[in-house]
Structure 1
């Protein structure tokens, strides 16, 4: 399930792409399969990186013109030289990190001038409902430690000499699913409605039927669980 719109990322052959907090590899694997690039995914979780390798393995020979690499690292101390990457993705990561400004400074450092950055975080109002329905939702290990105001986050990023180029919302159909999960947090396994909704989401992901795909596009500006912003780096690292 992709959060970032790759058409807006404008990936070109030969680009270097970094996925900061790549998790189980949904974005970096897609990028390396669909584009002739050097793709690097980094994450602090060794378990997630192992899952990424397992998911990529069946497709390893699918695109011989693309290079795929992953590395365990702290996003506040990226092990790359200044101006190493043409494009950077940081999707659903910053809400987990205490010192997220250090992550943004590192992203700014390793992104080339005129490079493109795609950032996504949970949208504020659907996230607030999750927090109200279940404290465990955000208090679990590795949970969300803050709710972002998108305008304030945009301002923080623009202070690092970035210019907003696109903004959109994603995963409208997932917002009610997470509200249901939070409502029955301690008894999710026995909830028929959660199981039925999950089957709907899996069907939508695998089959991509016109009805749910169209419905989500229409609902995203209203109900989208994630807000996605694309920026162009306009100057040198500070």
Structure 2
């Protein structure tokens, strides 16, 4: 399930891409499939071990174009171990909302991005996230959880303040917001609740099958209750 639109953030052979806060690697895998060199960067060494294993499996299955490479690096977004201007593209998907000092993380993104390079930043969008916080304290107070709710204006202003030229934005995963509202209402860890379980099965079916009816439904819901907002920006050349 991708949040970033790769038509707006084109990647391919010759590009070096940083997936900041890569987690399970969903965006890193897509970048590698498209033939770019990707570095999956995260604080969680255990998750990155799974990403490395998937990179190897993709190579074995012939899913990686010749010349493309995938690497993993464990580290802190506030002090990344990369030289200035190391990457042509940076993806920061659902990570800034976890970082108390988000401005330092944004400045690090700008530092490692090459002049003229592109960045895609995704965070939970305001309304769905505000409802989740209202329904469940556990949702946002768990260790490593969300520490803030961004408005779109705040996110864009912070990116601009760090030196980026902010471009277009869009919303994603409108079908996922109701699932999280259900989870917050019945218990974030209560995966066996019949309603949460049924909705989760619907989402899995949608991700696998991608039927036209749910694609149309999500296109309608995204601007209204999209779970994530994605902002694209460029570092001045």
| 1:1-238 paired onto structure 2 within 5 Å | 1-33=1-33, 35-61=34-60, 62-63=63-64, 64-185=66-187, 188-234=190-236
Stretches of structure 2 that go unaligned for 5 or more consecutive residues are: none
Partner Cα separation in structure 1 for residue 154 and residue 188 of structure 2 = 33
Stretches of structure 1 that go unaligned for 5 or more consecutive residues are: none
Task: Tell me how far 1:186 sits from its aligned partner.
Answer: 6.2
**Cα deviation 1:98-125 (Å, max 9, x = unaligned):** 1111111111101011100100000011
**Cα deviation 1:40-71 (Å, max 9, x = unaligned):** 11000112112212333321242132110011
TM-score, normalised to structure 2's length? Answer: 0.95
What stretches of structure 1 move > 4 A for 4+ residues in a row?
none
TM-score, normalised to structure 1's length? Answer: 0.95
The number of residue pairs the alignment matches comes to: 234
| Closer, same or farther: CA 210–101 of 1 in aligned 2, 3 Å | same
**Cα deviation 1:7-48 (Å, max 9, x = unaligned):** 100223200100110001000111101x22211110001121
**What SS does the aligned partner of 1:6 have?**
coil
| RMSD (Å) for aligned C-alpha atoms | 1.3
Partner Cα separation in structure 2 for residue 128 and residue 189 of structure 1 = 21
Partner Cα separation in structure 2 for residue 185 and residue 46 of structure 1 = 28
| Closer, same or farther: CA 135–60 of 1 in aligned 2, 3 Å | same
